[in-house]
Structure 1
Amino acid sequence: MTAPLVAVAHGSRDPRSAATIHGLMDVVRALRPELDVRTAFLDLSAPRLGDVLSAVHGDGYGEAVVVPLLLGRAFHARVDVPAAVAEVQQRYPRFLVHVSDVLGPDQRLADAAWRRLAQAGVSPDDPELGVVLAGAGSLHDPANRLAAEVAARWQAGTSWAGVVAAFAAAAEPDVPAAVARLRARGALRFAVGSWFLAPGLLPDRIERLAREHTGAPALAAPMADDTGVAELILQRYDDVRAAVSRPQEFSPAL
């Protein structure tokens, strides 16, 4: 039996978030219909990761591959996912749970965010446009740098007045500060790119602040069910399966 892919997202009180993640996993299933694909959440949404892994074990599988639907290796990737997996493995010592790397960094994420921005009507040839690339924010600075690096590449590849990464919480700059920087660079119009997989309370905060400080910006949707993101999830799964087949080379993400 081929190990199931268990995708685990953060979770949110906003029901749109879970619905969007389920939609993304439907795209994954469409790309790999023979694979058993299951969806789990760390918090605030159901089903929880431990419950899904227990169900996989109960269905007779001897192993599973967990793919964290996280854009960077911040607290949830470094603490929450390993803790949930460890609890399950204590309960079922012979059940093997492999954990892949998180989704970022990967060019497919940047491409997905770019496609969403283009779908919002944003042209790369507007020298009066300022773009805020908005993400959740983390106390783990390397996770924030991923968004900042994407912003820098967008800046280099367009004629925009500027691109600044901004964060909803836990990191600087916030949206008002990012907008102020862009105005100082000559931006007269604004757009907001999304460094989020799904809608929720933090993306809503970004949108509210962007409207308050810019009027009517072009707003990109979250990356959500982009096919490139679905392909990336499968790539993370395949990387683990390939590494497990070479035990001397396998170093689990835990």
Structure 2
Amino acid sequence: MTDTASPPGLLLFAHGARDPRWAEPFEALAARLRSRRPGLNVKLAFLELMAPDLPAAAAAMAAEGCSRIDVLPLFLGAGGHVRKDLPALVQRLQAEHPAVQFRLHPPIGEMPAVIDAMAEAAASLLP
């Protein structure tokens, strides 16, 4: 049973890169979400090359009282990391934090609203 008084958690999951500037758009997304939804516990985690990784971010959210954590892959499509690696990572998180309900979502790039926004942005470049 999920405690409705606990803060909801949204764990944004990105690939990671050696160049710290690569993460700036993802950090801006997390900041906008926090601003729009003040009661939402938003964390950004990375698969590799950057910190925190998914287990560390999830552990922090669990320690902060989140009883449900939605995991949103910040990928344009479902490649091998999203189809194979991420479900296995989320299963491990569920085993490590049995009091927390983890819900894995499809990659953000497959959401119709995101596809529409990208099409609009691309079209706006043209005369």
Say whether the fold is shared (TM-score over 0.5).
yes
Q: Which of these residues, 54, 59, 77, is aligned with residue 54 of structure 1?
A: 59
1:117, CA displacement in angstroms? 5.9
Aligned counterpart, 2:8: 3
* 1:110-121 alignment runs, 5 A limit: 110-115=116-121, 118=124, 121=125
Aligned counterpart, 2:126: 122
Distance 1:116 1:89 in 2: 39
**Match status 1:109 vs 2:92:** no
* 1:145-160 alignment runs, 5 A limit: none
Which secondary structure does the structure 1 equivalent of 2:65 belong to?
coil
Aligned counterpart, 1:68: 73
Give RMSD over aligned pairs: 1.9
Q: Which region of structure 1 is more displaced relative to structure 2, 57-66 or 99-108?
A: 99-108
Q: Between Structure 1 and Structure 2, whose CA radius of gyration is higher? A: 1
**Match status 1:26 vs 2:31:** yes
Cα displacement string for residues 50-77 of structure 1 (whole angstroms, at most 9, x for unaligned residues):
1100111112222211111111122111
Change (3 A) 1:107 1:96: closer
Which secondary structure does the structure 2 equivalent of 1:89 belong to?
helix
Please tell me whether the aligned partners of residues 70 and 102 of structure 2 are also in contact (alpha carbons under 8 angstroms).
Answer: yes
Please tell me whether the aligned partners of residues 8 and 39 of structure 2 are also in contact (alpha carbons under 8 angstroms).
Answer: no
Change (3 A) 1:47 1:77: same
Q: Which of these residues, 30, 46, 50, is aligned with residue 45 of structure 1?
A: 50
TM-score by length of 1: 0.44
Distance 1:55 1:34 in 2: 16
Which letter maps to 1:98?
R
Which secondary structure does the structure 2 equivalent of 1:37 belong to?
strand
1:26, CA displacement in angstroms? 1.2
Cα displacement string for residues 7-65 of structure 1 (whole angstroms, at most 9, x for unaligned residues):
11111112111122101211222222221111111111111111100111112222211
Aligned counterpart, 2:100: 95
Which residues of structure 1 form unaligned runs of 5+? 124-254
Which secondary structure does the structure 2 equivalent of 1:104 belong to?
helix
* 1:188-203 alignment runs, 5 A limit: none
Distance 1:60 1:33 in 2: 15
Distance 1:54 1:37 in 2: 13
Distance 1:113 1:41 in 2: 26
* 1:238-249 alignment runs, 5 A limit: none
Q: Structure 1 stretches (4+) deviating beyond 4 angstroms?
A: none
Distance 1:108 1:89 in 2: 28
Say which structure, 1 or 2, has more relative contact order (CA 8 Å, 6+ apart). 2
Aligned counterpart, 2:3: none
Please tell me whether the aligned partners of residues 7 and 67 of structure 2 are also in contact (alpha carbons under 8 angstroms).
Answer: no
Which secondary structure does the structure 1 equivalent of 2:57 belong to?
helix
Which residues of structure 2 form unaligned runs of 5+? 1-5
